[in-house]
Amino acid sequence: MNAEGVAWVTGASRGLGRALALALAGRGFRVRAGMRNPADGEDLSDLAAQSGGQLSVEALDVRRPESLQAPEGLRVLVNNAGLDGAYLPVEHAPMTLWRELFETNLFGLLEVTRRAVPQLRATGGGVICNITSCSTLQEVPFYAAYRASKAAVGALGESLRAEVAGFGIRVLEVMPGPIDTQMLSASDRLPEAAEHDGYQEMAKDLWRGRQGVADLITAPDAAAARIVSAILDDDAPARVACDPLGENLLAASTAR
């Protein structure tokens, strides 16, 4: 697709979403950068303008439907907003944790997407890019709620892909590995599972294993550049990686 029209990015206050908003503006899209607190993005318009791009910041909370206004002229939606939570075994994870993650990662994304589809249809098509996680391709203890919410987005995307292909809308799933953001640095801790009988050693092993991917941590700008390339590539596969670890896991899963 040509880099023209409006791109709408959720969760653009920091991390991958911020990098994606700037990268899309740099390629020629008019970007609407959605974030809960617009003050977090007060430098974004100027930064985009420095590379000749257009970007406006808007208040957006995927859990507040009244804040979701799909723009006219929409060509690209990037469903990036997301969160994770306590790393607990299934038997101890409270339902409030599951509901919290699903409200944002799945239902919030769905609220945005169902508003975006009519605008994408009106523009003659475009791309819906869902940021999930390559953790769904592995058995990772204590990440059940997060991984399940992201796997559900994957399944939602597969049905949506079939439904909207005829309208010229491509649904792309991006499965990041470790990207150098606040979410990743906050996850560098002994999992809360260690407080529960029978899970201490597994929790310690998981934390130790996490140190093993330190060399594979990817900068948000580098990941964003790969994601924007996949958005622009009409022949991109339905599921793509944006970093070396995600690439290895995706290749291994498709080879199975």
Ligand X SMILES: NC(=O)c1ccc[n+]([C@@H]2O[C@H](COP(=O)([O-])OP(=O)(O)OC[C@H]3O[C@@H](n4cnc5c(N)ncnc54)[C@H](OP(=O)(O)O)[C@@H]3O)[C@@H](O)[C@H]2O)c1
Q: Which of 59, 182, 237, 251: binder of ligand X (CB under 6 A)? A: 182
DSSP-derived pairing of the beta strands 74-79 and 239-240: unpaired
Task: Assess contact for 134 and 116: CB atoms under 8 A.
Answer: no
Express the helix, strand and coil content of the chain in percent, nearest 5 each.
50, 15, 35
Is residue 11 close enough to count as binding ligand X by CB under 6 A?
Answer: yes
Q: Which of 8, 10, 129, 230: binder of ligand X (CB under 6 A)? A: 10
CA–CA distance, 211 with 209 (Å, rounded to integer): 5
179 vs 203 by CB, closer to ligand X: 179
Task: Assess contact for 183 and 84: CB atoms under 8 A.
Answer: yes
Task: Assess contact for 71 and 119: CB atoms under 8 A.
Answer: yes
30 vs 147 by CB, closer to ligand X: 147
Is residue 183 close enough to count as binding ligand X by CB under 6 A?
Answer: yes
Binding piece for ligand X, criterion CB under 6 A, among 43-51, 94-102, 177-185, 231-239: 177-185
Concerning whether 146 is annotated as a catalytic residue, the answer is yes
- Provide CB contacts within 8 A for 86, sequence distance 6+: 93, 97, 192
Is residue 179 close enough to count as binding ligand X by CB under 6 A?
Answer: yes
Least separation in angstroms between CB 138 and ligand X: 12
16 vs 120 by CB, closer to ligand X: 16
The three-state secondary structure class of 88 is coil
83 vs 196 by CB, closer to ligand X: 83
Structural tokens at position 105: 């990662």
Q: Which of 128, 133, 85, 91 is nearest to 109 (CA)?
A: 128
- Residues numbered 61 to 120 that lie near ligand X (CB under 6 A) are 61-63, 80-83, 104, 108
Binding piece for ligand X, criterion CB under 6 A, among 23-31, 35-43, 192-200, 206-214: 35-43
Residues that bind ligand X (CB under 6 A): 10-11, 13-17, 35-37, 40, 60-63, 80-83, 104, 108, 131, 133, 176, 178-179, 181-184
Q: Which residues are designated catalytic?
A: 146
